[in-house]
Amino acid sequence: MSIAQGIRVLARVPTRRKAVTAESMIAAGYPPMGTDTNESLARKLSAVDRCIEILSDSMGKLPSFVMDSRTRERVDLPLLQLLNVRPNEAMSPFVAKKVVETSRLVTGNGYEWILRSPRTGRITEIIPVPGELVEPWRDQSGRVWYTVTHPWTGEPMRLPQEDICHYKAASRDGLKGVGVLRRASEVIASSLAAQQYERAYYENGGQPSGVLRTESDLGGYAEDPEGKPLTRSDGSWITRKDQLRSEWEKVHAGPNNSHRVAILDFGLDYKPLSVSNQDAQFIESREVSVRDIARYFGVPLYKLQEGKQAYGSNEQNAIEYVVGTLHPNVSQYEEERTWKLLTRSQVDAGLEVRINMMAELRGDTSARGQWYKDMMQEGPFSVNDVRALEDMPDVPGGDERRASLNYVPLRDWPELSRIRAETGRRES
């Protein structure tokens, strides 16, 4: 797919934002997202942490708008104030969307609690709820419910599906998603083990692993000057070999003791067992783990500062990232919000909540400029249409569309050719 084609797929009309004051604010604070041990361990891997940040940042910066699917015209609704200005008292739209997407990636499920006015039924707040606080289930009639632990009081609530926007990762039953961390658990576990091994290697890298040899008898247990056996904190006795090893490591192990001169007595002989970085394959192992993790998340390697950093290919990768990774996620958000945030009459009238993905491609100025030029020359876009996509105000006369005569219907070709020939003769 070319860059221009990718932009054509993703083109949307942005929302014009207006200030608003949210009503009945209760989100005075928000608890920390991550207390799950598996998440905290997995995010110690830079590739995992960065993939989560990249994907959640991408979703966080995409604005929403409402479109009439029949006319493809933008519709201004009060809902856009919550989606694009302030969803609740505690969060900006970017933060709220980032929290939901992070939960979707980590736990497999991102949730938004929809609060409505009891008097009018109008949506007053949209509050993200961590995935670990929500449990979806079906009753005997097949209706979906959500058992939600209140984020601030800890009280359980039973909410109907109309009050929860539910965004799923890969799902086996359609009711609940499975997070990337779970699906990639083996890759993450092996990467963590390799990272811990590498850390231990360098922590003990002041001297290479080796063997202390002596002709003396090192059997039995170590004793203090008074002849009493030395013991550990748990009461077990310390052997003479353990004592010798401990004393050696105390003096020579660790990076701060690197290259210290060793003084051997009592007939001791030290034989190093060298292990090179090439043999350990630390670098190669890290590259493989990064590629595997990036593959699970659907993040191009160049976004992780890995692989070849060719500018031309990175532009193409950016398009593929948006089309292949973001677009499916965006479609789920659009469908869920259309069904849950709009009224039935609005849905029946053809209104849809859409997300503008052009924000993800604004760094590619050359491709965007060429696409705008093509759209203006072929007639679909006016000057003001282009300025709207760039969040710029309209200009006088900018609504007029123009078209090139280089592409005309064949039935009109003879007449247009005659007119062009006559015009040329008059000018000459």
DSSP character string of 174-220: SSSEE-HHHHTHHHHHHHHHHHHHHHHHHHTTTS--EEEE-SS---S
Q: Which has the higher per-residue pLDDT, 370 or 401?
A: 401
Label residue 405 by pLDDT band (50, 70, 90): low
Residue 169: per-residue pLDDT: 93
What does the longest C-alpha to C-alpha distance in the chain come to? Answer: 123
The yes-or-no verdict on residue 1 having pLDDT over 50 is no
Q: How far is CA 235 from CA 57, 228, 279, in A?
A: 54, 13, 40
Residue 23: per-residue pLDDT: 32
Q: How far apart are CA 413 and CA 417, in angstroms?
A: 6
Please state the rounded mean pLDDT for residues 274-278: 55
Residue 164: per-residue pLDDT: 97
| Inter-residue contact 147 to 137 (CB < 8 Å) | yes
Please state the rounded mean pLDDT for residues 314-340: 89
Burial 280-298 (b: 16+ CB within 10 A, else e): eebeebbeebbebbbebbb
Q: How far apart are CA 62 and CA 83, in angstroms?
A: 10
Please give the model's pTM, rounded to 2 decimal places.
0.68
Q: How far apart are CA 102 and CA 81, in angstroms?
A: 23
The yes-or-no verdict on residue 282 having pLDDT over 50 is yes
Q: How far apart are CA 210 and CA 273, in angstroms?
A: 5
Strand partners, 272: 210
Q: How far apart are CA 65 and CA 70, in angstroms?
A: 15
Q: How far is CA 168 from CA 102, 171, 177, 263, 353, in A?
A: 11, 7, 5, 63, 18
Q: How far apart are CA 234 and CA 240, in angstroms?
A: 17
Q: How far apart are CA 403 and CA 399, in angstroms?
A: 13
Residue 264: per-residue pLDDT: 58
Label residue 16 by pLDDT band (50, 70, 90): very low
Percent of the chain with pLDDT over 70: 71
Q: What is the mean pLDDT of the chain?
A: 78
Residue 31: per-residue pLDDT: 32
Q: How far apart are CA 265 and CA 62, in angstroms?
A: 70
Residue 284: per-residue pLDDT: 67
The yes-or-no verdict on residue 186 having pLDDT over 80 is yes
128, HSE (Cβ side, Cα atoms, 13 Å)? 29
Write the Ramachandran bin of 127: left for phi over 0, alpha for psi from -120 to 50, otherwise beta: beta
Residue 133: per-residue pLDDT: 93
Cα angle 230, 231, 234; round to 5: 175
- Spell out the residues 6+ positions from residue 103 whose beta carbon is closer than 8 angstroms to its own: 33, 109, 110, 111, 128, 130, 131
Q: Which has the higher per-residue pLDDT, 103 or 33?
A: 103
| Inter-residue contact 67 to 355 (CB < 8 Å) | no
Q: Which has the higher per-residue pLDDT, 15 or 83?
A: 83
The yes-or-no verdict on residue 127 having pLDDT over 70 is yes
The yes-or-no verdict on residue 244 having pLDDT over 90 is no
Residue 257: per-residue pLDDT: 57
Please state the rounded mean pLDDT for residues 49-75: 93
The yes-or-no verdict on residue 59 having pLDDT over 60 is yes
